[in-house]
Amino acid sequence: MVAYEQQNPPRFLHTFNCKIVIILFCLLAWCAQAQPVCTPALEESYVTTEIALLIEYESEGDCSTATIRKGQKFVWMWASVYAYDYEGAWEAFPYQLSVKVNGIPVYSVSALTFNIETECENGTFCNREVVKVIDVSSFTHSASAQLEVLAYAVRPPGLEDPGHYGQVYTVLTVHPRSRFLLSDTRQDFRPGNSDSADPVAATCSSGYDCYPSFEARIQESCCDVKIGFELSDVSTLAGVSTNYGSGTGLDYAVDPELNQGMVSVSGPPGTVAYETAEPWTMANLMISSLDYGGKAKVKAYFLAPETGEKIYAEVVEDLEQPTEPESTMERQFARLPFDEDEDGMADGWESGVGGVLLVAANDTEPGGGAPGDGLPVFDEYRGFHVLEGTAKAHIRTHPDQEKDVFYWDASGTAIFHDALVAHLAQELPGIVYHPVDDVQAGVNNPTTKEVDYFNKNSPLGPSAYAFVYELRQLSGGSLGSAGGIGKSFKPILIDDAKIGQTVASYGFVMTHADLRALVLSHETGHRFGLTHPYRLDHPTSAIPAQRPYASVQFHEYARDLAQTNVLYNRSDIWPHPVTGSWLIADQLSDQKGILSGNKVIQFNPEPNTPPPPGSLDSALKVTMRDPVPNTSLYIYVETQELFLMDWNLRQISSMSSLSAWHFKASDIDRVVVNVVQ
C-alpha cells in the first residue's frame, strides 16, 4: 500500500532501457493471460494501489476491489496521476479511470490529459488529482456491495513511437468505509431558556440544556471539505414555559457569536443553515435553546468536491465508537430533545417520571375516581415559573404521581403559605403546593385579583387556574369565601380580622393561626369541588294540626300552615352557644330546592321533642326570611357532621384543636384539582 503524499515518481522509472522494456512487456502479457482482470484487494478501511505503466504499450493496468458494507452511503475516492517524461510525451497519452459497484458503472474519467502550464513542471513530471465522492446508497440499503476501481493509461491508435520512454505513475486511494457522522442529542438534555430577558435565565447561563452542541466529522477521508448544519422543524410555542411569556418566536436559534468560523448560508425553506468558512474535516455547531419545551431537528452535511453536492451525515450516539449502520435509511437528523416517539417530550424525562413513554395530552395522576390536576403531561414536562423563597425559578412537575396546585399569596405576607403547610398539605396527601407571584399566576385584574388560565401557553389548550388567596373584609358572619365550587378564576377570600375576632369573642380554644388554617382548608376544599354536607328532605305526607314537628322524620320537613315562613325538619346540628350571623345560610342554587336564596333568620331547637324512632336528632324550627312555597319539592338541608367541610366550623369541646379537623374519607376521594365536577 502507498500512503497519500505528493511526491515524485520512484527513481527506478528513470532507468528503463530496451531490455527492461522487453521484460516488462513479457511480464505484462503473461499477467494478462494468467490473472483475472481484477484481483481482490484488502477489504479494510481503504484500498491503495500503485500502478507503473509504460506508455508504449496499451495495458489494462491494475485494479482494486473492496466490499462496501451494508448501510454505507458514499465512497470517497482520491487519485493522483503522475506522468514522467524527458520530452513531453505525456501530452499524447491519456489516463483513464472507471469505478463500478456490483458491476454497474457509477463513475468514469476518460481521455484525461495534463495542462502543461498548470499541472506540469517542464522537463520533470506532471500531476493531476481526481477527488470524487460517489453515492452508493442505492446499492447498500439492505446488503453489502462490491466496489471495483480500474486505472490504466493508453496510447491512442496509430500514434507513432516517439522514440523515447515515458512513464505514468498513479497513487489511487479509495475509502469504501468512509463515513460522515453527526453526534446525536444527549439523552439527558432538557430544553432551557438562554434568553436573558427570562427572570430565571441566570440559571441557564451555560451548560448543555441551554446550549446544546453538535459535532460533525468525516472519518477515513483524505481531503478537507466545507461542513454545514441545518436547523429545521423548529417549534414556535407561545411564551417560554407553560405559565410564562407570550411571544411565539423560534424556540431554538444559532448565535453567530457562539459559532466563530461558521457563516450563515441559504438552506431549504424553513431552515437555518450555517457552514464552515473554510474546508475542514470536522465542525461544531452550538445552538441556543429559548424555550423549556421546544423541539427541532438538526442535520449536518459536507459539500462534495467538484460537484458541491450535499452529503448528509449519519446520526450516531458515540462518535468515537459508532455503531454499524443497519441500512442507508437510518435517521439523518438529530432530534432536539432526544425523542424517539417524536411527541415533543424528552424520552429520558418521560421514563424518569412514568417508567413508560407518556401521552402528551393525558392527565393521569391517581386519586379516587377523580381525574388528575387539570394539567396535561406536556404542560408538566414544559414546566412552570414559580417562586422558591423570594427567587424566581423554573420547575418540571411529576405528571403521573403528584397533583400540583399553584397559588399566589396576594396578601404579601406568609400567612397563607403557613396555613397551607399547617393543615391543608397534610390533610390531602399527593397534592404539592407551589407558590407563584402575580405575573406567574396570570393575574389580569390587579384590583379584584382575578386570573387568566394558569397554563395559558399550553399547545393543548388552557385548562387550569392558579389559586389566589386574598385578604378582604367580608359581610355578615362569613370568615371566608371560595369564589366558586370547582375551578374558578376568582380569588379565595379570607377575612382574617374577623377570624381573630371570632377567636376572641366566642371563646375558641384554638389560636388565630389555627382557625385561619381551618378556614383556608375549608374554602380551598370548595375549589377542589367539595360541598357542605347536606341531605335532600321531602314534605311529610300528613301534618298534624298540633305539634306538627312531632311527626317529622329525618328525611322529611313540615310546613307550618299558620306561619308561612316557618318549617320544621330533623337535623344533626347540635345545640351550641353561637347565635346571630353565624346562622345565615349559604346562597343555594336553583337546582338545590325551594329555599334557594331564602335566608334563614333563626334556628330554634324545639324543646321536649323526642327524636323519632331510629334518630338521634331533635326537631328544629327554621324561620325563613320569605314565605316557604306550598310545594312538594325537595329542600336542600345543610348538615353538620363534625368534619372539615361542615358548613360552619363550630367550636365544641371535642373539636377544639387544629389536629381534630379532618376531611371525610369520601371527601378526599372526591377531590378534583382544577376540573369542574
| β-pair type (166-175, 47-54) | antiparallel
Is there a domain that residue 673 lies in?
Answer: no
CA-to-CA distance for 406 and 419, rounded, in angstroms? 15
Residue finishing a domain among 148, 177, 206: 177
Q: What's the one-letter identity of residue 676?
A: V
| Domain shared by 460 and 416, yes or no | yes
Instruction: Identify residue 376 by its one-letter amino acid code.
Output: P
Q: Residue 276: beta bridge partners?
A: 262
Q: Which of 268-282, 487-501, 655-669 has the lowest mean pLDDT?
A: 655-669
- pLDDT confidence band for 568 (50 / 70 / 90): confident
What one-character-per-residue DSSP string does 304-319 give? PTTT--EEEPEEES-S
Grid coordinates of 587: 346562597
Average pLDDT over residues 474-492: 90
Task: Give pLDDT, residue 20.
Answer: 27
Whether residue 521 sits in one domain with residue 397: yes
Which of the four pLDDT bands, split at 50, 70 and 90, describes residue 80? Answer: confident
Same domain, 609 and 478: no
Residue 511 pLDDT exceeds 80: yes
Q: What average pLDDT does this structure show over 297-322?
A: 93
Which among 120, 568, 617, 363 has a CA at the least distance from the CA of 354?
363
- For position 87, what pLDDT does the model report? 55
Instruction: Give the mean pLDDT of the chain.
Output: 79
Provide the CATH number for the domain around residue 193: 2.60.40
pLDDT in tens, 369-404: 456 889 999 999 999 999 998 899 999 999 988 899
**Same-domain status, 280 and 325:** yes
Counting Cβ atoms within 10 Å, is residue 212 exposed (0-12), middle (13-18) or buried (19+)?
Answer: buried
Q: How far apart are alpha carbons 618 and 264 in whole angstroms?
A: 86
Q: Let me know whether 134 and 188 are in one domain.
A: no
CATH number of the domain where residue 169 is located: 2.60.120
Task: Tell me the whole-structure pTM to 2 decimals.
Answer: 0.81
Q: Which amino acid is at 244?
A: Y
Question: Looking at residue 618, what DSSP letter applies?
Answer: P
- The SS3 call for residue 593 is coil
Is residue 220 in a domain?
yes
DSSP, residue by residue, 490-557: SPEEE-HHHHHHHHHHTT-SS-HHHHHHHHHHHHHHHHTT----EEEEEE-S---SSSGGGG--TTEE
Same domain, 185 and 299: yes
Cis previous bond, 337, omega within 30: yes
Q: Is the pLDDT confidence value at 58 over 50?
A: no
- Same domain, yes or no: 457 and 546: no
Q: From 398, 420, 392, select the one nearest 528 (Cα to Cα).
A: 420
pLDDT confidence bin for 110, thresholds 50/70/90: confident
Boundary-marking domain end, from 140, 158, 177? 177
Nearest-angstrom CA–CA distance, 54 and 28: 10
Provide the edge-to-edge strand list for the sheet that holds 166-175: 47-54, 166-175, 74-85, 125-135
H-type alpha helices, 283-433: 347-354, 377-382, 415-419, 425-427
569 domain residue, yes or no: yes
Q: Predicted confidence band at 185 (pLDDT cuts at 50, 70, 90)?
A: very high
Is the pLDDT at 554 greater than 90? The verdict is no
98 and 201 part of one domain: no
| Residue 167 and residue 42 share a domain | yes
Amino acid identity, position 153: A
**665 domain residue, yes or no:** no
Please tell me the predicted confidence (pLDDT) of residue 164. Answer: 43
What's the rounded mean pLDDT across residues 422-446? Answer: 94
Local confidence band at 543 (pLDDT 50, 70, 90 cut-offs): low
Task: Enter the C-alpha cell of residue 226.
Answer: 466545507
Residues recorded for the chain: 677
Is 451 inside a domain boundary?
yes
Distance of CA 297 to the CA centre of its chain: 13
Per-residue pLDDT, 588: 36
Measured CA to CA, the distance from residue 283 to residue 285 in angstroms comes to 7
Highest mean pLDDT among 57-66, 449-458, 605-614: 449-458
Q: What percent of the chain has pLDDT over 90?
A: 44
pLDDT for the residue 509: 84
Per-residue pLDDT tens over the stretch 359-371: 898 887 875 445 6
List, for residues 616-637, the tens digit of each pLDDT value.
Answer: 556 777 788 888 777 777 777 7
Instruction: For residues 532-550, give the mean pLDDT.
Output: 69
> What is the C-alpha separation between 124 and 88, in angstroms, rounded?
9
Mean pLDDT lowest for which of 237-246, 295-304, 387-396, 575-584? Answer: 575-584
Is the pLDDT reported for residue 3 higher than 70? no
Angle, helices 496-505 vs 512-527, to 10°: value is: 130
Q: Are residues 171 and 188 both part of a single domain? A: no
CA distances from 446 to 332, 438, 470, 496 (A): 51, 9, 11, 20
* pLDDT band of 535, cuts 50, 70, 90: confident
Residue 571 belongs to what domain range?
534-639
Residue 432: CB atoms within 10 A of its CB come to 16
Instruction: For residues 273 and 383, state if they share a domain.
Output: no
| Domain total of the chain | 4
Confidence check: pLDDT of 406 > 90: yes
Tell me whether residue 663 is in a domain.
no
Q: What does the pLDDT read at residue 25? A: 30
- 3 within some domain: no
Measured between alpha carbons, how far is residue 169 from residues 111, 166, 221, 254, 381 in Å?
16, 10, 22, 48, 64
Amino acid of residue 667: D
For 8-41, the pLDDT digits (tens) are: 333 323 333 332 232 223 323 323 332 334 544 4
130-143 pLDDT, tens digit each: 888 999 999 999 99
pLDDT in tens, 201-246: 877 777 899 999 999 999 877 778 999 999 999 999 999 999 999 9
Strands (E), 517-671: 534-539, 556-559, 566-570, 600-605, 619-624, 635-638
Describe the strand order of the beta sheet including 104-112 as a list of residue ranges.
62-68, 145-153, 95-101, 104-112
Mean pLDDT value of segment 400-413: 91
Task: Please name the residue that has the C-alpha cell 388560565.
Answer: 453
pLDDT at residue number 417: 94
Average pLDDT of the segment spanning 101-106: 94
Contact 87, 164 (CB under 8 A): yes
* Residue at 494 is within a domain: yes
pLDDT band at 583 (very low <50, low <70, confident <90, very high): very low
Angstrom distance (rounded) from CA 438 to CA 645: 29
- The predicted pLDDT at position 8 comes to 37
Contact in structure between 298 and 285 (CB atoms under 8 Å): yes
Distances (CA, A) of 578 to 342, 509, 529, 648, 650: 62, 14, 28, 11, 8
Instruction: Centre a 10 Å sphere on the Cβ of residue 459 and count the other Cβ atoms it contains.
Output: 17
Torsion angles phi and psi, residue 381, rounded to 5: -70, -45
Residue 219's nearest CA partner among 323, 330, 76, 329 is: 76
* Residues 536/635, Cβ–Cβ less than 8 Å: yes
Same domain membership, residue 404 and residue 303 = no
Query: Which residue, of 527, 554, 579, is where some domain finishes?
Result: 527
| Between 476 and 272, residue with greater pLDDT | 272
